[in-house]
Structure 1
């Protein structure tokens, strides 16, 4: 007999739709109009339905106990439920896959792919040889009985149905975006964020890549860099600290953001964008420059999962960019004096931030003319014309409250202008016609309208998708993506599947879930992967080993020195061309002979290698020494000391077991990619100094620090695959 509340629930009684290999994501598994129109999830004959009816399950309300009918699955009709992979070859209900999922893995997968039927994660119940879960919200049972997957509930007309052998679901379950093991999960996390902790690895293995991405897309941004500066007291006007004239508060801000923000994917993408839309704190010289760079960072963070068109315009009007590339104070032409609009930003926004120097195919390869020469994407005339659009802009001082610095006669504005878009003074804006890249902006077009047309022209240029997407792939996954990889991601940029162009969230998903990123083939391909940027190595170490700043000041500082620190510091590029060019090729190398690029190697020289090793060795062992960590300024007091340290709690537990210690570090820092030979070298090295449970904490720390340092100095760590 059926439960009354089941029989009367028409919505839950709707048949489940069939699924294909291309729709194994939660979004694709959601009910559609065609589903509700009657696409059959399964078809049962009247006799089969009758033979498997719930007459034997007894009365009363449904509960998380196995109904009698579910325990009699031997006689249930066998139907290819939960997605028949059809012609893809990845699933057949009568063909075993190469890997058999456990019952829990099968049910976890079903919850992710069919949330409308298995509506939330439920506890697993074991009843004899039956393992099942009950979903009270939809009143469905899903279980595994004697090696077969069975379903019972309203969508099956309250009949128990055998949907296939558990073994036959392997390809479907594991092709739906779940890591094969801890190493696979860690590899994904190191591409998608800054670090891979044991908790993160467990989460990705539990919910899958796609669901993890969704959780990151939906994670709150948290405190902005601009607000962090205010909370730390950096907006104070004082002659002794002169925060308005200093850049070190900006360093504290960005290190805090990179080391502590829970939305690691968003911040990782923002950092990648900061290397395309470059503004350097080292190149800013105006009041409240640290606040200005903080708001610029916040702008990149805000648009990391937004739309590229909005990002392009907000960057163009940002006061930090306005100062850095001369649109702030840029004026229209003056025939009497011969003055012409500054062309700096007009050139760089095309060359570096949107379309590049030469015409590209969708796969990022260069388009050539009949003589085999690259076709230029823009001309000097395009630059001259576009420059007119960026005239008449200056800081927006509408909220300014000028203040006098105590003890001086100097006046400074407040910080408000640093996070307002630049304002337009129409009298200083060029009224000449603008003709660039095939677009025409008539003479006397108002400035805002001219800017909108210019932004649209750049945004819809055919080069934007391959030019931007290839660089994002380089920053996150590999320096030399195949043309096919670039084309797949660029196609998503052009159309996210819902006729939206420039959807950054979809672009990020496409980059990280592409077969080229997720396939294990890259692990053995010499041309796959990238050199880890020095600043990313420091952030990875910090996040992996629970770094903290005792006083919350995060005074790591400017790490640009190649001889004594990292040779790279976030938001401190030496020029608008970033720390390295995307097409950099190390001269006289095998890479050059093969035609490959290695952008990050532009940072590598004898000085930078030695500087990195010396700096990181001390940091790993001791932490980072800070003056006056309790104060925002750079003074000195009794609290001077190693304010920024890692907590090697888990490593201390393993310290007397060198093999286990190195295995853990290998997993978290390298996604398990150290060769057996390298693992042995490191393990043997740390075994050379005996450590026992009775050893002092200092001796134990020495072993841990040595192991981490040797890993971070190894070539197999430095190249991320």
Structure 2
């Protein structure tokens, strides 16, 4: 199967499949089980497999470029020690942190510096994925004029560090930590959610956090099978995962929490916003009555706010919908937008039991995602190729390009390379960490345009404006002078010979899957007498390759 490539890549959804891939419509196409390629050993991955692994587990592969000791996130290191050891290295890498002090750099700038330079690439990728499931936006945390610090920055830094510290931990602990996070408390009204007025009269608690806890953070709208597919009733309609009564019950069970302070407020009153410590329980504002939660389980009558929070979170954590709902989204963020039901089921089984009887072990879950047969190998299974992968979201598109070019970020006075990278990302529709909606930068169930039912979440922010912004980013990175912004790319890593240059780009950026059409297009462009000197030819080759559908769709 072949396709043509337009410079403006207006047909991203039609990224080319390899010429030996069977057509979806071919009546002779063999079943997936019979077409699955031989899977390489995790201990001896090919270079192509190592590059694909780094695309999924980092903010972009990079080369060691002659370093005596290859970095743990380099292609050479993964080929040398294998994927199992590379995962262990990443789990143990020193953690990148966010600084919420007023005088520190913008959090989006910090994010991109960490993403480009941090050793803990997998932790950062996992935390970034979690931040798009458990959404908090810096836009919606107000600053208090009477205080010297920036509350929005302090709160968001705390929240991002919380996700990072729990990225490989216990999902139940993560759920409790984010429920008690003051940033989440402000964003979705968990903080100061009272069950009584100042006169002591009962009032229905705010349902905002309870609703999103069920709909977006744990269960989704409809009941799922363990392979991520929807359960249907006798009429073929999806079955709701919860009811409005459940939302109200969870809202009451989670009432009574406020910002940390020296004491609890009186009935119907609130503590002022404070972001240094988790929310505190104040029983005077809690509805202590028994509430019927999921699957008919009730909270304890007369229980405290802390007791009811534990019972509510235990209840939702034990729900059978949670593993497929969460695992499918993590696969979507790290590997492919349309994982097979079998892939989802295998990861769900690990979520349910990590092999030692532990439920919700995120380290085991991410290992299962990245070592699964459908994620590993030099290329995706041929029978799945046409539906495999995902459009690189703006942040990952940017970091993948700059990491291949061995970028140096100059953090000296007057320069802010991270901010420049985030401005490029914002122009493409993803300003970190400022999603415009609780559904994040794009919803996980957004359809791929013209995809006949396929999901393509990242396409939700792809339009004529952001499409042009992708082109402008690459052009400005290569042809403007980003070094003045503290971004120093190394174009010399690219070979000078046209044949070698074309092969280098296919070997690394596309892990040996460049189509013959793209090879010819790049080669003809850089050997044209009008292409300019050698430096401009290198830039043109990278420009064409990075904007091609084959690179834009990560497979």
Is the TM-score greater than 0.5?
A: yes
Structure 1 residue 398: Cα displacement: 5.0
Q: Which residue of 1 aligns with 2:354?
A: 496
**1:650 and 2:493 correspond:** yes
Q: 1:515 to 1:623 in 2, by over 3 A?
A: farther
Q: 1:456 aligns with which of 302, 314, 330?
A: 314
Q: 1:387 aligns with which of 251, 258, 265?
A: 251
Contact residue 253 and residue 288 of structure 2 kept, 8 A: no
Task: Give the greater-gyration-radius structure (CA).
Answer: 1
What SS does structure 1 have at the residue aligned with 2:186? Answer: helix
**1:676 and 2:516 correspond:** yes
**Within 5 A, what are the aligned runs for 1:603-618?**
603-618=461-476
Contact residue 177 and residue 210 of structure 1 kept, 8 A: yes
**1:396 and 2:260 correspond:** yes
Contact residue 534 and residue 566 of structure 1 kept, 8 A: yes
Structure 1 residue 482: Cα displacement: 0.8
What SS does structure 1 have at the residue aligned with 2:298? Answer: strand
Q: Which residue of 2 aligns with 1:183?
A: 48
Distance in structure 2 (CA, Å) of the matches to 1:623 and 1:270: 32
Structure 1 residue 554: Cα displacement: 3.6
Distance in structure 1 (CA, Å) of the matches to 2:42 and 2:398: 33
Q: Which residue of 1 aligns with 2:539?
A: 705
Q: Which residue of 2 aligns with 1:325?
A: 188
What SS does structure 1 have at the residue aligned with 2:90? Answer: helix
Which has the higher relative contact order, 1 or 2, with Cα contacts under 8 A spaced 6 or more apart? Answer: 2
Distance in structure 1 (CA, Å) of the matches to 2:469 and 2:281: 46
Q: 1:431 aligns with which of 288, 301, 316?
A: 288
**1:193 and 2:54 correspond:** no
What SS does structure 1 have at the residue aligned with 2:485? Answer: strand
Q: Tell me the alpha carbon deviations over residues 88-110 of structure 1, each in whole angstroms, 9 at most, x when there is no partner.
A: xxxxxxxxxxxxxxxxxxxxxxx
Structure 1 residue 528: Cα displacement: 1.0
Q: Which residue of 2 aligns with 1:312?
A: 175
What SS does structure 2 have at the residue aligned with 1:454? Answer: helix
Q: Which residue of 2 aligns with 1:373?
A: 237
Q: 1:702 to 1:396 in 2, by over 3 A?
A: farther
Structure 1 residue 322: Cα displacement: 0.9
Structure 1 residue 305: Cα displacement: 0.7
Q: 1:686 to 1:204 in 2, by over 3 A?
A: same
Distance in structure 2 (CA, Å) of the matches to 1:278 and 1:423: 21
Structure 1 residue 443: Cα displacement: 2.8
Structure 1 residue 516: Cα displacement: 1.0
Structure 1 residue 176: Cα displacement: 4.5
Q: Which residue of 1 aligns with 2:34?
A: none
What SS does structure 2 have at the residue aligned with 1:480? Answer: coil
Structure 1 residue 576: Cα displacement: 0.4
Q: Which residue of 2 aligns with 1:466?
A: 324
Distance in structure 2 (CA, Å) of the matches to 1:423 and 1:486: 37
Q: 1:225 aligns with which of 82, 98, 108?
A: 98
Distance in structure 2 (CA, Å) of the matches to 1:385 and 1:299: 27
Distance in structure 2 (CA, Å) of the matches to 1:445 and 1:190: 48
Q: Tell me the alpha carbon deviations over residues 400-429 of structure 1, each in whole angstroms, 9 at most, x when there is no partner.
A: xxxxxxxxxxxxx9x9x4342112222222
Contact residue 364 and residue 470 of structure 1 kept, 8 A: yes
Q: Which residue of 2 aligns with 1:664?
A: 504
Q: 1:285 aligns with which of 135, 142, 145?
A: 142
**Within 5 A, what are the aligned runs for 1:107-118?**
none
What SS does structure 2 have at the residue aligned with 1:577? Answer: coil
Gaps of 5+ in 2: 1-37, 65-73, 145-150, 264-271
Q: 1:690 to 1:184 in 2, by over 3 A?
A: farther
Q: 1:390 to 1:678 in 2, by over 3 A?
A: same
Q: 1:380 to 1:558 in 2, by over 3 A?
A: farther
Q: Which residue of 2 aligns with 1:717?
A: 551
Q: Tell me the alpha carbon deviations over residues 567-592 of structure 1, each in whole angstroms, 9 at most, x when there is no partner.
A: 212222110011222221145x1x12
Distance in structure 2 (CA, Å) of the matches to 1:282 and 1:557: 19
Distance in structure 2 (CA, Å) of the matches to 1:429 and 1:646: 56
Q: Tell me the alpha carbon deviations over residues 55-83 of structure 1, each in whole angstroms, 9 at most, x when there is no partner.
A: xxxxxxxxxxxxxxxxxxxxxxxxxxxxx
Contact residue 250 and residue 281 of structure 1 kept, 8 A: no
What SS does structure 2 have at the residue aligned with 1:290? Answer: helix
Structure 1 residue 559: Cα displacement: 4.6
Q: Which residue of 1 aligns with 2:445?
A: 583
Q: Which residue of 1 aligns with 2:159?
A: 296
**1:573 and 2:435 correspond:** yes
Distance in structure 2 (CA, Å) of the matches to 1:252 and 1:260: 12
What SS does structure 2 have at the residue aligned with 1:516? Answer: coil
Distance in structure 1 (CA, Å) of the matches to 2:165 and 2:403: 22
Structure 1 residue 260: Cα displacement: 1.6
Indicate the larger mover: 545-554 or 673-682.
Answer: 545-554
Distance in structure 1 (CA, Å) of the matches to 2:499 and 2:276: 51
Distance in structure 2 (CA, Å) of the matches to 1:188 and 1:609: 27
Contact residue 530 and residue 720 of structure 1 kept, 8 A: yes
**1:602 and 2:460 correspond:** yes
**RMSD over aligned Cα atoms:** 2.5
Q: 1:560 to 1:622 in 2, by over 3 A?
A: closer
**Within 5 A, what are the aligned runs for 1:155-174?**
174=40
Distance in structure 2 (CA, Å) of the matches to 1:558 and 1:455: 38
Distance in structure 1 (CA, Å) of the matches to 2:334 and 2:512: 18
Gaps of 5+ in 1: 1-170, 235-247, 400-412, 626-640
Distance in structure 2 (CA, Å) of the matches to 1:613 and 1:188: 26
Aligned residues: 488
Contact residue 560 and residue 572 of structure 1 kept, 8 A: no
**1:210 and 2:75 correspond:** no
Contact residue 126 and residue 167 of structure 2 kept, 8 A: yes
Distance in structure 1 (CA, Å) of the matches to 2:464 and 2:119: 35
Structure 1 residue 394: Cα displacement: 2.4
**1:539 and 2:399 correspond:** yes
Contact residue 491 and residue 539 of structure 2 kept, 8 A: no
More strand by share: 1
Q: 1:291 to 1:665 in 2, by over 3 A?
A: farther
Contact residue 429 and residue 441 of structure 2 kept, 8 A: no
Q: 2:371 aligns with which of 509, 513, 519?
A: 513
Q: Tell me the alpha carbon deviations over residues 603-626 of structure 1, each in whole angstroms, 9 at most, x when there is no partner.
A: 11112111221133102333548x
**1:422 and 2:271 correspond:** no
What SS does structure 2 have at the residue aligned with 1:575? Answer: coil
Q: 1:349 aligns with which of 178, 201, 213?
A: 213
Q: Tell me the alpha carbon deviations over residues 144-196 of structure 1, each in whole angstroms, 9 at most, x when there is no partner.
A: xxxxxxxxxxxxxxxxxxxxxxxxxxx99x5344223x222111111111111
Distance in structure 2 (CA, Å) of the matches to 1:398 and 1:613: 53
Q: 1:689 to 1:268 in 2, by over 3 A?
A: farther
Q: Which residue of 2 aligns with 1:686?
A: 526
What SS does structure 1 have at the residue aligned with 2:108? Answer: helix
Structure 1 residue 548: Cα displacement: 2.9
